[in-house]
Structure 1
Amino acid sequence: TAPSILSLIQTIKELNERPSNDPDPDDDDDDDDDDDDN
């Protein structure tokens, strides 16, 4: 299972290095804030 975990970590790092063109992360944060307001 170690190689799979390392591959997941590498994939996450690669995703974090990319500029986020998709508004999904911001939308998720906004949704959390809206839920708190409600």
Structure 2
Amino acid sequence: MITAVIAEKPSVAKDIANVLNVRERHDGYLSGNGYLVT
């Protein structure tokens, strides 16, 4: 199961992705480790 995390600003999304160890960058979102951060 993938958990989606929605952030208000791209800079906040990057910070959340770093905490969750999400490393794959895509067009408009980051994914990996069971998370999708946008």
Q: TM-score, normalised by structure 2?
A: 0.34
Q: Could you say which structure has the larger radius of gyration?
A: 1
The structure that is strand-richer by fraction is 2
Q: TM-score, normalised by structure 1?
A: 0.34
Q: Work out which structure has the larger RCO, using CA pairs closer than 8 Å and 6 or more positions apart in sequence.
A: 2
The structure that is helix-richer by fraction is 1
